[in-house]
Amino acid sequence: MDAKKPVVLVAGKVNPRIIERLGDRFELVHAEKHARLSLGANVATEVRGAVVSGDFPTDWMAELPKLEIIGSFGVGYDGVDVREAAARGITVTNTPDVLNDEVADTAIGLLINTVRQLPRAEDWLRGGNWVPGSNFPLSPLSLKGRKVGIFGLGRIGLEIARRLEGFKVAIGYHTRSRRDDVPYTYYPGLLSMAEAVDTLICIVPKTPETHKAINAEVLSALGPRGVLINVGRGWSVDETALIGALEKGIIAAAGLDVFYDEPHVPAALMEFSNVCLLPHVASASVDTRNAMADLVADNLHAWFAEGRALTPVPETPIPPRRN
């Protein structure tokens, strides 16, 4: 082990570009994400940084006494116990902004695909069904004239709203507090917004407050022409209630990029012709994932070269380190 290089733990599988960007500057050690840290004690005591995609086992923090920074790949960082990190003086970083446009674009594409059933139309064509005298059925829904409510108007939610403006739909939102910098209609509660709109786009993070927040009551309020789009977290939707709402015609359609127990998708959801399903690909382009990987690496480079993190999460406002 090179004593001159800071030791960085690669926790489980991460984007290979992160490793490429860190390889020259840092001594990298790898460990699978099990309950116990699979590093020798002499190595664990030298680890000063870590990178992770998804969950970082909380118990590992106690086993890494010199750990200063955890770089999390993704805008969501619920897989890292930030309270424990803050208590131990560990800075946690994420990758905000660099994926905003990609996720917002995907949300709009998923919305259009859901209401117009474009994937079904393509499958119908590819199946050789377009022959003289045979046309694909008219889509029962349209985006025209819809009232869209956005659940979560953070960075990505705002980009979704801006894109929706071009479709001439009414736009509203629900967050914990009203924003003074947007022209959209504010609803103080998720239920009141669902009662007022016919299209609900979910882009909230995973928190105790958002757990199954989109439940049977909210879906019922959305109504028989209602459409649910989720590009946030599967955690936020009661999938049993959603399946029931689709079966009974309580809502008209749904488009989902995220699920409660990924990668497991309820078989019942796959049976609906009015549901569009994606395998959590909202930010999954080469360009965007490279930008996310670069930001993970840049945070570690800045921390050890300049004593500061570029994008620390608000729960770990650790003072800049002294070189």
Residue 280 is a catalytic residue: yes
Residue ranges per domain, the chain? 7-96+287-306, 100-277
Q: Tell me what pLDDT residue 323 has.
A: 53
Among the listed residues 25, 116, 155, 280, the single catalytic one is: 280
Residue 264 is a catalytic residue: no
Average pLDDT, the chain: 96
Query: Contact at 8 Å (CB) between 296 and 310?
Result: no
3-state helix vs strand vs coil in the chain, percent to 5: 35, 15, 50
Question: In which residue are the tokens 């608000």 written?
Answer: 314
Query: pLDDT tens, 1-14?
Result: 555 899 999 999 99
Query: pLDDT tens, 173-228?
Result: 999 999 999 999 999 999 999 999 999 999 999 999 999 999 999 999 999 999 99
Whether 7-96+287-306 shares its CATH topology with 100-277 is answered: yes
100-277 belongs to CATH 3.40.50.12780? no
The CATH class of 7-96+287-306 is alpha beta
Among the listed residues 21, 146, 174, 233, the single catalytic one is: 233
User: For the whole model, what pTM was predicted?
Assistant: 0.93
Q: Tell me what pLDDT residue 320 has.
A: 65
Provide mean pLDDT across the span 102-123. 98
The C-alpha angle with vertex 173 and arms to 201 and 262, in degrees rounded to 5, equals 30
Query: pLDDT tens, 17-61?
Result: 999 999 999 999 999 988 789 888 899 999 999 999 999 999 999
Residue 322 is a catalytic residue: no
Among the listed residues 217, 262, 271, 315, the single catalytic one is: 262
